Structures are given as structure tokens and as C-alpha cells.
Amino acid sequence: MMSSLAAYDLLDPNGSINIIWDIMSWKPDGYLATVRISNLQMYRQIRSPGWTIGWTWANKEVIWSMVGAQAIDQGDCSNFKTNIPHSCETSPAIVDLLPGSVPQSQQFPNCCKGGVLGSWGQRDKAATVSWFQVSVGHSGTSRKTVKVPKGFYLLGPGAGYACSSAVVVPPSVFLSADGRRKTRAMMTWTVTCTYSPTLASKNPNCCVSLSSFYNPMITPCSTCACGCKDKHNCSTRDSEISTLLKPNLVMDGETQLLQCTQHMCPIQVHWHFKVNYKKHWRVKISITNFNYWLNYSHWNLVVQHPNLNNVTHVNNFTYKLLPYHPTSDTGVFYGVKEGNELLMEAGNVQSEMIFGKDEKEFTLDQGWVFPRKVYFNGDECLMPPPNSYPFLPKSPNPIHPLLFAAALLLILLAFCSFWCNSKIESQKTQRKGPQLLR
């Protein structure tokens, strides 16, 4: 119960990754099963290097063979003289195969995507599912004798997911290709894994900066918004990248090489209030990638703002309102169009959107035009402090009294200098007058 509560996502309460284990046939010492991993999260995807799932066998089961995935470690199979198993690990860890790594004839449907899963909110539903086949031995051979594995976990690609225990459910039903015949699995159990930002990282992975047309001041991301843990291993120039990158480095999804910034975040989202029309208002959104080791090809941006239920136009991004949110103030922007990849080396994408005005609600006061919360790929971005938001010209000037006094003194000195110089020039002119008359 504690894991379930810790992993509850307020913006996506029904979002989860489901693992469905279907035993399709019995074998003399075990069974043949298909395992389906489905990403039902609206805006959180599994990016490269992909998912890893694992469990602990209830007895002394082994994996004879796999199609469409592989165990990371074979384990100790020294007790087998012939017919060596694929894995003898008590707690195997399974990963997807890379695209093109095996011939098409040896692949399983919906496998071999490198563990990458798209989010459910995107259009391509096939990209949200991954399958593989596993042949299990030294196991039970009937519903009564099979023992369900325990201790399921999911890495996607890092920590952040809490998984339930496996639950035996009614067997899955499958339709034939022509839709005229139904078949059933021998036995089915499911596992539900939900995401928690607190389990994933102590620090944010993105930050937000703000600006507006009515104030030249830009509110930057907070200093060390993402923890500054990589501040001693960052790059100040593109020319340094070749010396910092290691050719044989294995990317694990956690390693980063960031451009040196005061915020030290992989992703920065900038919200600019651009134009205030009579019946509409316009905002420009910019997203910048400061991570030299990671491209974001199918990213998404979730924004909370009370006017997102009245968006009349969005340029460049794909937009939809989250239908299940109680206040209808949360929208998702998808970078699915060509050219919207957030590439390495400080790649940047931009969009402009126009809101319809509700005269009873719209105001320029107290930062109303700025977002309440921003999420990039499901991770909440750190907002700047409200008292640092761009202020209206009519608002009290937040300049420090000492700075104001110094500025006033400089103005007085400049005026005095101008007046004194003018006085001296006037006196010189008066003295030269009589000489000219002679």
C-alpha cells in the first residue's frame, strides 16, 4: 500500500505500465509464455536505453529460451551438461532487443524496439507496447502447480517505478487474424507499475524561465535548479565535447554531459508572454536541450494554466487538453512533427499559441499569465519563485533602495556637470565679445 501511495501521480491518476504474463502452452517441465508490456501513461514515455524488467522465481525455474528479448546475465548453468538454458539466474533481469539485431524471422511481434515505449497520449498506440516470448523450465506444468514469480520491478530506464505483486486474473482472450475465432491463454497474471518522481530523483530534470513584452527583465531558471551535481563535469564550449566524450562509454540513461549553465538542467522551458490583444493573448514557448548525450525525439510538455481550456491556435506543436483533469486546466504539447527533435548540443524548438480571453478571469496582475506547473516527459520542472516574476510597469519598482539612491545620485551628478559646463561656456563667450567688437 505504501508503494502504491508513493507512486500516485496527480496529473495522470490512471497512468501505469502493465505487465501481462500469458501462459500459452504447457511443456513437459514447464510452459511457454508471452509477456506484454504496455505503457498506459498519458505523457510519460520510456526513452532509450529502454526498459528493464525483473523478478525472482518462486522455486528453481530456469529460462530455456527467449524470443524478442534477452536476459542480461546467463547466471550459473554449470549443473547442465547439455541443452544449456538461456538463463539460470534466480532473479533474472530482462531487456528488449535492439532494432535490427536479429533477423525478421527470429523476431516476436512488437519486439525489438530497444526498450523504447511511447506514451499513451500520442497517436501511435503500437509504439506503447512491447512483447517477448519466454520458455520456462523446472516449473509447474498446470494451473495448480505453477508458482507465480515475486518481487517484480521495472526500470524505465532508471529508478522511479513501484510494482505491485503479480495477481492471477482470468485468462486473456485472443482473436484470430480474421476475427472469427477466439483462443484463450492457459493462465494469466498481471503486474502494475506506477511512477513516482520522488523515487526517480531527488532533483528536478528541467527548469522554467519567464519573460513578457511589458518588462525587459527576464526571470531566469533558479541557480542550481537541478542540483548542480554535474557542475564540475560540464562543457562551456562545443569544442570540448570531443575530449569529454569517451568512444566506448555505455549509456545507461542516467549519465549526462551538460552544457555549463547557472541552472545545470538538461532541459530548460521558457515561457514568453508575447502580445496582449483585445480578445486574445499570445505566448511563445521555447524548449532547449542542454544534454550533449541525449536526443529527445518524441518528447511531450505538460502545462497547467487556467486558460488552457480556451486555446485557439498552436503553431508547430501538437496540442490536446487532458480530458480527465477535474479543472480542465492542463494541456499536453507533443513534439511529433518533423523537425521537432530536441537534438544534442543545445537543440531548441519553439511554438506560439493563442488563447481566447475570458474577461472575468484574464488579468496581468500577480503573474496570472504564467504557468502554474510545467512537466517535461512526465518530470516536473522547477518554477522560479513567484516574487521574481516579470512585474507590470505600474507595479511598485522592486529595485533595492540603495541601488535606487545610487541611480538618483548619478542622475544629479550628470545634471550638475551639464549645468556647470554650460555656465563656463557662457562666461567664455561673454569675455570674447568685446574683443570681437574691437
Q: DSSP E strands: which ranges in 247-341?
A: 267-276, 280-289, 300-304, 311-314, 318-321, 330-334
Residue 305 domain boundaries: 202-238+255-388
Instruction: For the chain, count helices (H), then strands (E).
Output: 4, 24
Instruction: Write down the pTM of the prediction.
Output: 0.77
Domain end marker among 388, 405, 425: 388
For residue 422, the number of C-alpha atoms closer than 13 Å in the C-beta half-sphere is: 6
Whole-angstrom distance, CA of residue 302 vs CA of residue 11: 9
SS3 of residue 209 by DSSP: strand
- Are both 319 and 212 inside the same structural domain? yes
Collapsing DSSP states into helix, strand and coil, what is residue 10?
coil
| Grid coordinates belonging to 39 | 505503457
Task: Tell me: do 179 and 220 sit in the same domain.
Answer: no
Q: Give mean pLDDT in consecutive 10-residue pieces for the chain, a chain of 438 residues.
A: 51 88 97 97 87 96 96 96 95 95 85 91 85 96 96 90 96 94 97 86 90 94 88 69 48 68 93 95 94 81 90 88 64 62 65 91 91 90 93 62 60 69 62 47
pLDDT of residue 327: 53
Domain of residue 25, CATH code: 2.60.40.290
- 172 with 188: CB under 8 angstroms? yes
350 touches 319 (CB < 8 A)? no
Residue 67 lies in a domain: yes
227 and 189 assigned to the same domain: no
Grid cell for residue 258? 551538460
| pLDDT for residue 293 | 79
Residues 192 and 54 in one domain: yes
Residue 125 and residue 188 in one domain? yes
pLDDT, residue 5, reads 45
Could you tell me if 54 and 152 are in contact, meaning their C-beta atoms sit under 8 angstroms apart? yes
| Cα Rg of the chain, angstroms | 30
| pLDDT (tens digit per residue) in 52-62 | 999 999 999 99
> Structural domain tally of the chain?
2
pLDDT value, residue 229: 78
Q: What are phi and psi of 183, to 5 degrees?
A: -130, 160
User: Among 59, 174, 53, which Cα is nearest to 115's?
Assistant: 53
C-alpha cell at 434: 568685446
Strands 373-376 and 379-380: antiparallel
Predicted confidence at residue 411, as pLDDT, reads 73
**Following DSSP, what letter does each residue of 377-434 receive, concatenated?**
TTEEPBPPPGGGSPPPTTSPP---HHHHHHHHHHHHHHHHHHHHHHHHHHHHHHHHHH
Cis peptide before 247 (omega within 30 of 0): no
Show the CA angle centred on residue 426, arms to residues 424 and 429, nearest 5°.
110
User: Among 345, 361, 388, which residue terminates a domain?
Assistant: 388
- Asked whether residue 299 is assigned to any structural domain, the reply reads yes
Question: Do 24 and 115 reside in the same domain of the chain?
Answer: yes
- Cell numbers linked to 132: 517477448
Q: Assess whether 177 and 264 both reside in one domain.
A: no
3-state secondary structure of 300: strand
Q: Strand 129-137 and strand 62-67: pairing?
A: antiparallel
Residue 63, in any domain of the structure: yes
- Mark whether 211 and 188 lie in a shared domain: no
Identify whether 422 is part of a domain: no
Q: Are residues 166 and 216 in the same domain?
A: no
User: 119 by DSSP, 3-state: which?
Assistant: coil
- Rounded to whole angstroms, what are the CA distances from 300 to 171, 283, 305, 307? 35, 18, 16, 19
As a whole number of angstroms, the distance between CA 31 and CA 140 comes to: 8
CA-to-CA distance for 333 and 317, rounded, in angstroms? 6
Q: SS3 for 262?
A: coil
Give tens-digit pLDDT for 146-193.
999 999 999 988 888 999 999 999 999 999 989 999 999 999 999 999
